[in-house]
C-alpha cells in the first residue's frame, strides 16, 4: 500500500522571524529560512519521516525546483511532480511571539491540459487500497472542481481519499455526489463553507455529523491550540495536547493529515487515530520545517494526548 499526495499549488516557504510584527514599521529579521512546502509536500515529508512509502504528484516550476529535489532525495519520496516552465510561488511566513502571519501568493498560472495530465498520471499510478491526500489551494487556471472530479475517479479505483482544502474547491468537493473518505478543514474553513464567519464547537459538531450522514467517513476539524475534533460513525472526540516551545505552526495541519493517513493505513479505530494525528501535529510544532521528531517521541506524544468524548445531536 502506498500513500500519494497531490499538490497543484506547491510553495517555497520563506520564513522570517522578527521580534514583533507592527504594521507599517521597519523590522529587522532575527532569522530567515526557506523550505520546500505546499500542503501535499508537507504531508509527504512527515509521512516519509514516519517510514511510509509515499509518492508526490502535482505541478512544480522548473526554475526553482532545487529545494524540492533535495527534499525528495533526502527522504526517499517518489517524485511524480510534472515540471512546468516558470517558478513555484514563494510564500512568506512572518513569525513573532504572537504567532505566524502567512502571506500566500496565488501561484503560477497553469492550463487545464497540464492539470489533466497530473490527474491521468495519478490514475495510472494508484492501486486499489492506496491512500491519496489532495491538499491545498489551486493555482490560477486550475478548475475549481478538479478535486471533486478526482475524488470520484480515485474512489472508483478503490483508493481512500483525504481532502484538505478551502474555499471554492472545498465547496465543489462537499457539494458533489461522491464525497471524500476524510476531510480535514480547520474551523474557519468549515465555517466559511457553511457561510458563517465563525462557529462554536456545537455548530462544528453538528456540521461534521451531517457530513458523516452524507457519507464522509471521518471529519477532522483542526482548531489550532485548542486541538481538533474527530467525528465519524463511531462517535466524536476532541483531542488536545499542549506544547511549550512551538518552533513553527506552519504545516501543523499537514502533519495532522499525515498522521491521519498513517493511522488509516494501519486501520486504527477513532480514538487511536485521534491520538496519532494529534501527536504528528504537535510533534511537528517543535520542528522548524515540515518534519517530525524521531518516531519514539511521536509515539510518546500520542500517549499524552487528552481525549474527551463529545455527544452528537
Ligand X SMILES: O=P(O)(O)OC[C@@]1(O)O[C@H](CO)[C@@H](O)[C@@H]1O
Ligand Y SMILES: Nc1ncnc2c1ncn2[C@@H]1O[C@H](COP(=O)(O)OP(=O)(O)OP(=O)(O)O)[C@@H](O)[C@H]1O
What residues make contact with ligand Y under the rule CB under 6 A? 186, 222-225, 227-228, 242-243, 246, 249-254, 256, 278, 281-282, 285
For 79, list phi and psi in degrees, rounded to 5: -95, 110
C-alpha triplet 68, 70, 72: angle, nearest 5°:
70
Q: 44 or 262, CB closer to ligand X?
A: 44
C-alpha triplet 251, 252, 256: angle, nearest 5°:
115
* Cα distance between residue 58 and residue 68, in whole Å: 12
The least distance separating ligand Y from the CB of residue 129, rounded to whole angstroms, comes to 27
To the query of whether residue 69 is one of the catalytic residues in this protein, the response is: no
Q: 74 or 312, CB closer to ligand X?
A: 74
Catalytic entry in 13, 130, 164, 254? 254
- Per CB under 6 A, 102 contacts ligand X: yes
The least distance separating ligand X from the CB of residue 122, rounded to whole angstroms, comes to 18
Which residue spans within the chain are E strands per DSSP? Answer: 3-7, 11-17, 31-37, 54-61, 78-84, 90-96, 99-103, 131-135, 160-164, 182-183, 218-222, 228-232, 235-240, 306-310
* Helix and strand totals (H; E) in the chain: 10, 14
Q: Which does 282 bind (CB under 5 to 8 A by kind): ligand Y, ligand X, none?
A: ligand Y
Q: 88 or 135, CB closer to ligand Y?
A: 135
Contact, 108 vs 11, CB < 8 A?
no
Q: 61 or 251, CB closer to ligand Y?
A: 251
Identify the residue among 104, 123, 153, 234 touching ligand X (CB under 6 A): 104
> x/- site string to ligand X, residues 9 to 28, per CB under 6 A?
x-x-x---------------
Contact, 257 vs 160, CB < 8 A?
no
Any idea which residues carry the catalytic annotation?
254
Interface ranges with ligand X (CB under 6 A): 9, 11, 13, 37-39, 42, 91, 102, 104, 136-137, 250-251, 253-254
Amino acid at each position: 500500500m502506498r500513500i500519494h499526495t497531490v499538490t497543484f499549488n506547491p510553495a517555497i516557504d520563506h520564513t522570517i522571524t522578527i521580534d514583533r510584527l507592527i504594521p507599517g514599521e521597519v523590522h529587522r529579521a532575527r532569522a530567515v529560512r526557506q523550505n520546500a512546502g505546499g500542503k501535499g509536500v508537507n504531508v509527504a515529508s512527515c509521512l516519509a519521516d514516519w517510514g511510509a512509502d509515499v509518492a508526490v504528484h502535482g505541478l512544480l516550476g522548473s526554475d526553482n525546483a532545487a529545494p524540492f529535489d533535495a527534499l525528495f532525495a533526502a527522504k526517499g519520496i517518489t517524485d511524480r511532480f510534472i515540471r512546468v516552465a516558470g517558478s513555484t510561488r514563494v510564500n512568506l511566513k512572518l513569525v513573532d511571539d504572537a504567532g505566524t502571519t502567512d502571506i500566500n501568493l496565488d501561484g503560477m498560472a497553469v492550463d487545464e491540459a497540464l492539470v489533466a495530465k497530473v490527474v491521468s498520471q495519478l490514475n495510472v499510478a494508484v492501486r486499489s487500497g492506496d491512500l491519496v491526500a489532495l491538499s491545498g489551494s489551486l493555482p490560477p487556471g486550475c478548475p475549481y472542481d478538479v478535486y471533486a472530479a478526482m475524488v470520484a475517479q480515485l474512489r472508483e479505483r478503490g483508493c481512500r481519499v483525504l481532502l484538505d482544502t478551502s474555499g471554492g474547491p472545498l465547496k465543489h468537493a462537499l457539494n458533489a455526489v461522491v464525497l471524500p473518505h476524510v476531510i480535514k478543514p480547520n474551523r474557519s474553513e468549515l465555517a466559511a463553507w457553511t457561510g458563517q464567519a465563525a462557529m462554536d464547537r456545537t455548530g462544528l459538531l453538528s456540521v461534521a455529523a451531517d457530513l458523516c450522514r452524507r457519507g464522509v467517513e471521518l471529519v477532522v476539524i483542526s482548531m489550532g491550540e485548542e486541538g481538533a475534533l474527530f467525528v465519524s460513525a463511531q462517535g466524536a472526540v476532541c483531542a488536545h495536547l499542549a506544547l511549550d516551545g512551538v518552533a513553527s505552526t506552519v504545516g501543523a495541519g499537514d502533519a495532522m493529515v499525515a498522521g491521519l493517513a498513517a493511522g488509516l493505513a494501519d486501520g486504527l479505530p477513532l480514538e487511536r487515530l485521534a491520538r496519532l494525528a494529534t501527536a504528528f501535529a504537535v510533534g511537528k510544532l517543535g520542528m522548524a520545517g515540515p518534519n517530525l521528531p524521531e518516531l519514539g517521541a511521536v509515539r510518546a506524544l500520542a500517549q499524552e494526548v487528552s481525549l474527551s468524548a463529545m455527544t452528537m445531536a
